[in-house]
Structure 1
């Protein structure tokens, strides 16, 4: 099998895992989102430590964290991705999975806007039109719902800013993500220990260790976090960037279908108008990206 084909199937696997991850977090609905996030952080450290040890890159991790400027950038990235993770987990557990999918639909166009503002990247006419259409969709939702879609906007903004910061961090993906979760791990461990011993919480209020099925699911959060990122890194090295960009829309599409079909979330009139507008904007954006990639060849 050619490397490009392997990369394509790795990318499909990533989109399937991310797109269906809402089902996994719904299974953890009895565990508070902050506790789920803490476990996800701690077990991600374990997962990446094993991967880096196998690759012989633990030294690169230590070097990255010893660089004050790089460590500061990694810490900011870690805070942003934690807000993003927490927002998605909270949304799934509280019946807002559809709005979460909206956030990941909006994200690519938020990334384009951030690139224009902070990196002085130029947008083509179709890309500008796509951003304007998404802006209209968000304004329509705000007017129809009587409030802004804060979950979607938070997920799109935090993931966009995370990508912007990561653009300036020159580290292998596994080392970079491991450094982020290592920086967060002390806070996550402090929360879990406090819950276990009742420091500021009800005694033994933590979910880990009480039910073995739930405990196994919490441990598996490390694999759920690290596994797709490793697959994505593998795919990104073998598949054209334009293909990666288009294929990643499979993720929010699956999240949307899970919200409607599996979770039974209502598809209101406001969303029936907003989603087609956003899908149309993404079609324009994808067309412009593919055309630009073809002209650059």
Structure 2
């Protein structure tokens, strides 16, 4: 729970971070983010002497394939998020991460046959109805929100299927796979008339672009550890932290417009959150025996290896 709490708290602060580098092309931000993340991971792996574990995964077609799939899902999620924040759609990214736990819970049922309580089913239904009504009333499908929810929900599913891989090693392999994609994207941008310009917007923006790897690696490592220990239903509960912070930033700091249609969607999801909180508290009060079906599908992996 501590790993998950730390990961989602840091992710909640991402809109503020990427608003600072809003002058940079969002299609250029993600490749540099991947490259700097690999540098951070390489340093951590070297210090903790885990290159043997990394090499072992690279020699395992099954684990490498799973992490490669996770890498592509994560890259897509990053790109959608950065586009949303830099283009002034912070509230839609927040909506995406509000919906994300619902997809995570449903994926738990579909892929792991996790049993949901009556309150959890009510929560999923209310939130789904709220988002549907909001979409119809707003007249525009929330592509960024749905894309974020699906990509990261599936990312969590893939991580649940990866046995005996700690967060640091897993993220290192994922970034190794992502770097060729990022370099290709940079090459295409460099060939366009506008070219590359991530480091031409002043010292502060340059520093933040270079720090993107560090602020990316830390919460992802924490998430990797949490995903190994917690069932998808618990991960779904923790995920509400990120959109709450994002919503507060978009509404009170960025002053983005909140139409009636948008309020319907958000309120529907918030009501669902209340049901999930009530269900979580009730489950915890019943004690360990009531949570047997909620045990993780993989054994615990220590961060120290």
Same fold (TM > 0.5) = yes
- Corresponding residue number in structure 2 for 1:180: 174
Partner of 1:215: 206
Which deviations, in whole Å up to 9, do the C-alpha atoms of 1:143-196 show, x marking residues without a partner?
11112222111111111111011100121011111111110112213433565x
Contact persistence 1:138–1:148 (CA under 8 A) = no
Deviations 1:181-232 (A, max 9, x none): 110112213433565xx4x223753323664332211110001101223455
Among residues 27, 45, 49, which one is paired with 1:56 in the alignment? 49
What is the distance in 2 between the residues matched to 1:239 and 1:135?
A: 24
Gaps of 5+ in 1: 1-6
CA distance in 2, matches of 1:242, 1:187: 32
Give the deviation of 1:27 after TM superposition: 1.4
- Which residue of the partner structure matches residue 75 of structure 1? 68
In the aligned structure 2, how far is the partner of 1:122 from the partner of 1:275? Answer: 26
> Measured at CA, do residues 241 and 214 of structure 1 come closer, stay the same or move farther in structure 2, by a change above 3 Å?
same
Change in 2 beyond 3 A, CA 1:238/1:162: closer
Question: Helix, strand or coil for the counterpart of 2:13?
Answer: helix
Alignment of 1:218-297 (within 5 A): 218-231=209-222, 246-297=237-288
User: Is the 2:37–2:217 contact (alpha carbons within 8 Å) kept by the matching residues of 1?
Assistant: yes
CA distance in 1, matches of 2:192, 2:73: 26
1:39 corresponds to: 32
- Given that 2:123 and 2:276 are in contact with CA atoms closer than 8 Å, whether structure 1 keeps it comes out as yes
Residues 25-74 of structure 1 deviation map (CA, whole Å, 9 limit, x = unaligned): 11111211121010110000001111111111111011112111211111
Q: Cα–Cα, structure 1 residues 265 and 16, in superposed 2: closer, same or farther, change >3 Å?
A: same
Give the corresponding residue for 2:90. Answer: 97
* 1:129-168 equivalence runs, <5 A: 129-168=122-161
Q: Partner of 1:115: helix, strand, or coil?
A: helix
| Corresponding residue for residue 4 of structure 1 | none
CA distance in 1, matches of 2:101, 2:264: 20
Question: Which of 197, 202, 206 is matched with 1:206 structurally?
Answer: 197
Please, which runs of 5 or more residues in structure 2 have no aligned partner? 289-305
Q: Report how many aligned residue pairs link the two structures.
A: 287
Contact 1:14-1:231 within 8 A present in 2 as well: yes
Q: For the structure 1 residues 37 and 273, does the alpha-carbon distance in structure 2 shift closer, same or farther, using more than 3 Å as the test?
A: same
The separation in 2 between residues aligned to 1:209 and 1:266, in whole angstroms, is: 31
Distance 1:62 1:245 in 2: 32
User: How many Å apart are 1:13 and its aligned residue?
Assistant: 5.0
Q: 1:125 aligns with which of 118, 137, 140?
A: 118
Instruction: Tell me the TM-score normalized by structure 2.
Output: 0.85
Q: Deviations over 1:204-263 (max 9, x none)?
A: 533236643322111100011012234556788999998876554222111001101111
Q: Residues 141 and 149 of structure 1 are in contact (CA less than 8 Å); yes or no, is this contact kept in structure 2?
A: no
Structure 1 stretch 183-192 or stretch 273-282: which is displaced more?
Answer: 183-192
Q: Does 1:23 align with 2:16?
A: yes
- For residues 114 and 20 of structure 2, the distance between their equivalents in structure 1, rounded to whole angstroms, comes to 42
